[in-house]
Amino acid sequence: MPQTIVKGYKALMEEANARIETLPVADAMALVGREDVVFVDLRDPRELEREGRMPGAVHCPRGMLEFWIDPESPYHKPVFGEGKRFVFFCAGGWRSALAAATADEMGLKPVAHVAGGFNAWKEAGGPVEAP
């Protein structure tokens, strides 16, 4: 029996973007270096090796996000227990929209994500550590 997908990724992203803050790249750049902001890079390790990384960003592979956020998880990372603003990004802004919505739903607040992701960050001249 073939599968019937009742809600596709576009609908999921639309719902996520309606619930969370989406930061234009220029606004995200203005947050760099602030002690009360944590940038969270959701990209796969191979993407970091290929494209470079945002200086100071915490790397959290998308598949581990829920486990790293939840303090009851054996994989919990203390950075997600800090009373800071969390700004998520991926390569293009799709995974980060879904991740920010999930983090918000879990109770992590405040959260946002970067429109256009790391690709837009690089195009706008944001700081990048070479791979």
Q: Which residue has the tokens 């973007």?
A: 17
Bond into 110 cis (ω within 30): yes
**DSSP class of residue 129?**
B
Residues 6+ apart with CB under 8 A from 34: none
* Number of neighbouring beta carbons within 10 Å of residue 49: 11
Q: Average pLDDT for consecutive 10-residue bins of the chain (131 residues)?
A: 94 96 98 97 97 96 97 98 98 98 98 98 96 86
Give the model's pLDDT for residue 131: 86
Segment (H or E) for 86: strand 85-89
pLDDT of residue 1: 86
Q: Is 77 exposed, middle or buried (0-12, 13-18, 19+ CB in 10 A)?
A: middle
Global pTM value: 0.95
Residue 22: CB atoms within 10 A of its CB come to 18
Domains, the chain, ordered by start: 19-123 (3.40.250.10)
